């Protein structure tokens, strides 16, 4: 109840049954599969020897993650033992944490004075499982932002150079009746081709790298083509915005000055 675990067959431990404190076991789904039992319902009531004690299965828990997603869910046997009673799990309300912890500390010192009072929050322990992923995300975020910034600067410089080289051509096209949108489309089409080629080169490399990283997780999401399509669309949009700014400025310039340009 404290961890909100779901019983899918049988029952949980209860003080109403005198043997639950020594001869009763609750297993998870993975344990049922490992033992080769057909289903959770058929596992309830079966005899089980664990730790040298012969008891019976009274319930089956739905599988839950208690380790990092790098690891598969392992078989678990829950039992009540009088030997290991130095750790307690408690669910507390979020308000007045310090007052609640103070109360628990006083109660602990009263009941278990031979053990020091130490506590951790469950969410902090789960956060610690993914510290490396969080650090990796931050590093990739910083370097991705730098890469995009450098790429935009390079694209802006290349677009400026190309527009400058084609100033006379743009002027002649305007004199012959080309619209601003036509000129912008012409220049964007040229740069769009290179952005497409860059994506075709980058996608297999990105897929390989992400797939290798995901292999470290026992439970992982599948890579979708939509992810690469969205990233390619974003790259194309950045290129269009960068090039269009210079293209529009060149297309709106006086064609007479452009034709005289050398």
The set of residues, in sequence order, having a beta carbon less than 8 Å from that of 205 and lying 6+ positions away, is none
* Intervals of the chain under pLDDT 50: 261
Sign of CA dihedral 213, 219, 223, 226: negative
pLDDT at residue 106, rounded to an integer: 93
Q: Residue 44's pLDDT is what?
A: 93
Q: What pLDDT was estimated at residue 57?
A: 94
Tell me the C-alpha distance between 116 and 15, whole Å: 28
CA distance 43 to 9: 8
pLDDT 10s digits, 222-246: 778 888 888 888 878 877 787 777 7
The two tokens of residue 218 are: 């026992």
């Amino acid at each position: 109840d404290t961890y909100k675990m779901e019983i899918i067959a049988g029952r949980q431990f209860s003080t109403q049954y005198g043997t639950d404190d020594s001869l009763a076991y609750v297993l998870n789904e993975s344990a049922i599969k490992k033992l080769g039992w057909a289903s959770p319902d058929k596992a309830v009531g079966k005899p089980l020897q664990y730790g040298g004690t012969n008891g019976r299965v009274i319930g089956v828990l739905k599988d839950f993650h208690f380790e990092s997603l790098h690891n598969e869910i392992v078989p678990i046997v829950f039992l009540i033992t009088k030997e290991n009673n130095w750790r307690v799990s408690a669910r507390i309300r979020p308000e007045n944490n310090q007052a609640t912890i103070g109360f628990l500390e006083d109660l602990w010192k009263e009941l278990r004075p031979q053990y020091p009072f130490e506590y951790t929050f469950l969410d902090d322990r789960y956060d610690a499982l993914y510290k490396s992923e969080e650090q990796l995300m931050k590093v990739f975020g910083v370097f991705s932002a730098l890469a995009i910034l450098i790429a935009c600067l390079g694209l802006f410089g290349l677009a400026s150079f190309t527009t400058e080289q084609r100033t006379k051509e743009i002027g002649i096209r305007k004199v012959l009746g080309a619209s601003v949108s036509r000129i912008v489309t012409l220049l964007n089409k040229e740069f769009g081709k290179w952005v497409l080629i860059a994506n075709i080169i980058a996608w297999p490399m990105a897929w390989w790298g992400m797939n290798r990283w995901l292999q470290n997780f026992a439970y992982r999401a599948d890579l979708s083509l939509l992810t690469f399509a969205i990233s390619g669309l974003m790259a194309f949009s950045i290129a269009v915005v960068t090039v269009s700014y210079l293209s529009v400025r060149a297309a709106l310039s006086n064609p007479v000055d452009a034709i005289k340009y050398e």
